[in-house]
Structure 1
């Protein structure tokens, strides 16, 4: 079994002054292709989500040749394809939101080069190295850009992923925020370790009733997702900061009320929501990678109804993010035959996750630290909640299931091994500590020191 994990590292670029206009000039036909694709996908006055066209293949078949002709064959063929894909993905996100009962509007990609924009470059239109990258532009030599890196690289996302030979560049994004160019470098790595299962009673390799659960806790601060196997993923604090900054900017532009301000709102909205959606993919990929690494058969989340009640005073955006992460995890798990589950996990934050302790007390948790007032068990509070979420699911299984090879086995995947509901612990070697570790935490997406 293997899984391809993705990490996105945000790297500031140094673009030669005399080549900046070349990138801006390339962006104009790129965005033209995006808007033409949206027009094709979005019929006049759609009345149902299924009215929206979301097939990339159909869009490319219908539009590619015409878009190449309309851009005088000067825009790199792969950029035309990526512009089509970007637009179809934007419409697909709208369709999903519509199906979930949210209000939507037709996506529009801004065509002004002095505003922010994004272009997607695969490795045929862009070339990525450890310290520089180059990008194809309109009918000319590629633009070569060096990375602007902090003086100290240790423990930065750039050091962990870009400099690590185990991670490889994949299709990435060139982003202009109105002032600075950035590379949102997507790094891929394949995990191929086979999951380890306990031997069956008769020595066979039949595991039809074997259950190994990975519990997941989602959070509005700290790390966005924490798994019972010690995965600390995403940076919810930076996400909230970015969301607040975007909302403040939108409020200021709305107060301005000019047409230029309105156009900039539309431009920024597309960029920001594309980033938020990529963030949800990033967190989901990390959770799936943890599940495959520990050989999980089930990944368990707290029921969204309970999450909504718990964060009822938080922005609706957090509810959207949690729903989107779970949706992405569910469909990504299908490829590996891993089950997606939800449980109504009351008091997961207040309960001690030791199987020989029944203490449930609100004093057990203080911020991000859990200290049981009864048995003294101490660990990260979100990790404790993730373990409880997994154990809640195991409690729903029959106490004495049997299979052809003997009694079924149920386990919770932990940081340093597995745990059965009865308290039996088996040590494994995929990790070694119950606390967040820099090499396991996927925090800031930026290589710039903050």
Structure 2
């Protein structure tokens, strides 16, 4: 039995049984390492050494959490919440309630999409704006599984499709690794090749919005008061909030570091007097705690991925699947997409999946006679598959961190499974169509 499949299945089954995702990753890595012949001590060593691979990401999220909580002291989130609340009918008028629900979904969608391209702060936008909106969602009885699906769409589709922000990184990684594997593609051809797969994401979003989660869902109203502390605000505090956001964005773009971007925002808030010296320590610590869950999962996922790579069974899985294809383009495309899904589900990163699969997928696509656009679509889609639905992906961890502030949103059943069903299935279908028609 291939150790990669064993490790991923163990991790997913434990997660579905509501075992904490960090423990699921550790146990999955241990069993995968033993199955792959590494032995107990070697598996522990590889897992421990691999933890450092995501240490920068974990610290980045901690700093962004601290900045988010510091920003809340300016009252900016409260202004947005109070403005949105004015749209909610106190008498429960159906027409206005429907309009308000549509507006909330649209706002969340725009914020999520913009966080990848226009304002590349990634999931840092979630703890700033989602917790204050929970009260509105409860008032409108919005199913949080819908919001999780909307956020995940916004975190994935823009980088798949548009070569801006995180999309430019994804496309560059795809371009570089395909070239290294023997196929030189034009960078500007990637967005066109990824159009059909991206349309699959849109179909999944529409199904979630208009079919799966249309019905109202009630949540415990007693917990609303604990969701987010309301803060007073002034014109000056809102200006400071705007300056801190601008500082964060500029420094992040210039330094290419979320850590120093968040630090610059915190410095602006600190010296503006948004919070005093006495409360700064507790405030920033609480902010880091808010995002620490994501950090621990990302660290564990790095160790998990290191063990899978060390076994050598990732390459074995790809080669064994290639031997089953024969000369069929249809079977080849389908197997490559499924392999990408399995790998990304396990390691939680579509960006990290690309270097793993291109080594074999590029020559295989050439051998099977796929066109260059079809090859781009297959590899790009295979990498993106699993980003939605993976317990270790920040595209699912981010939505959970914002929606579970009151303990009423389960990471696996309310984020991972809904996003897996609504996006991975359409991605396979539309990725397969792209491979056949391009």
Q: Place the TM-score, normalised by the shorter chain, in its bin.
A: under 0.3
Which structure's CA Rg is the greater one?
1
Q: Which has the higher contact order (CA 8 A, sep 6+)?
A: 2
TM-score by length of 2: 0.27
TM-score by length of 1: 0.27
Choose between structure 1 and 2: higher helix proportion.
Answer: 2
